[in-house]
A = this chain, B = another copy of it.
Amino acid sequence: MQKFELTILGSSSATPTSKRNPTAQLLNIAERFFLIDCAEATQIQLRKFKIKFQRINHIFISHLHGDHYLGLLGLLSSMHLLGRTIDLHIYCPKELQEIIEVQFKYSETRLNYKLVYHHHNYINDEVLFEDDKVIVSAIVLNHRIPCCGFKFTEKPILAGILKEVIDFYKIPVEQILPIKKGADLILNDGNIIPNAKLTVQKQAPRSYAYCSDTCYDERIIPYIKQVNLLYHEATFLHEKEKRAKETFHTTALQAGMMAKKAEVKQLMIGHYSARYKDLQPLLDEAKTTFENTILAIEGEITNI
């Protein structure tokens, strides 16, 4: 099975603590490395967890609060100083380009690689990236400033055909790809062998949805429906619901409710307020509405 794994690099909300860094995540789908948000010290976290950061070719920035992008300049600069020459794609609010360019202007930095900007249009389901293995699409979030979540979905994976089956039916080479894609086999005598008898079970395409930062907003449900893993921010306990609403954040209870209504397989909560030294109450609260919940913990890898 191809890799589909998420590494948490930062789990705190705006104010970091001595134990938690602000938001950044690394997603590896079939050896494509996607960086999702890039808070201050992300390059330090990447080093700490021994991740080769030159393998990152696509960086997704949700919005322009500092705790989601302030590590970007340093990372871009280190990539340059360590010899990068291949293009780097950044999916971001258009204003980030200005922020990057003004700083490179005054530092007289000329990168040895190309930065390719893809500005957010804030349209649900818009395809932001696509190759032969992965599609990334937009989820419009509801935050104090424009904010975009991301859904990463595997392309359908071709079925397998056992060697014994090929030999038994003497399947010609040119028929193998169509059968893997779902065709039946028509024998010389006109008999039809249905695809299900020829192929081994396909694995359903897996998906990961990243929703941070946002208040509780059910309008995102169609775009995160039945994903394998939903990351949803849960900045506060529900006793701080008023504060959550004012600051366009979500409570742990609400994150669980969202997971339940969207029928996702698993929920990961994160973006914890610095006030919570112990995360167990946040986890317990989310579980009251959605049992299969886990905590975003820095350095931990989740297989999706």
Contact = CB atoms under 8 A, between A and B. Distances in A.
A74 interface: yes
Contacts of A48: 18
A219 to B, nearest CB: 22
Contacts of A98: 102
B107 A103 contact: no
Number of copies: 2
A104 to B, nearest CB: 9
A36 to B, nearest CB: 18
Given A78-B16, A102-B98, A102-B99, A66 B21 contact: no
B74 A40 contact: yes
A145 interface: yes
Given A16-B43, A47-B17, A81-B14, A93 B106 contact: yes
A148 interface: no
B41 A82 contact: no
Interface in A59-83: 64-67, 70-71, 73-74, 77-78, 81-82
B44 A16 contact: yes
A66 to B, nearest CB: 5
A83 B27 CA distance: 35
Given A14-B77, A40-B43, A44-B44, 17 more contacts: A14-B78, A15-B78, A15-B81, A16-B74, A16-B78, A18-B48, A40-B41, A40-B71, A41-B41, A66-B74, A66-B107, A67-B77, A93-B106, A98-B102, A99-B106, A102-B102, A108-B144
19 contacts: A14-B77, A14-B81, A16-B47, A16-B74, A16-B78, A17-B47, A40-B43, A41-B44, A64-B103, A65-B107, A66-B74, A67-B74, A70-B73, A70-B74, A95-B106, A96-B106, A99-B103, A99-B106, A107-B145
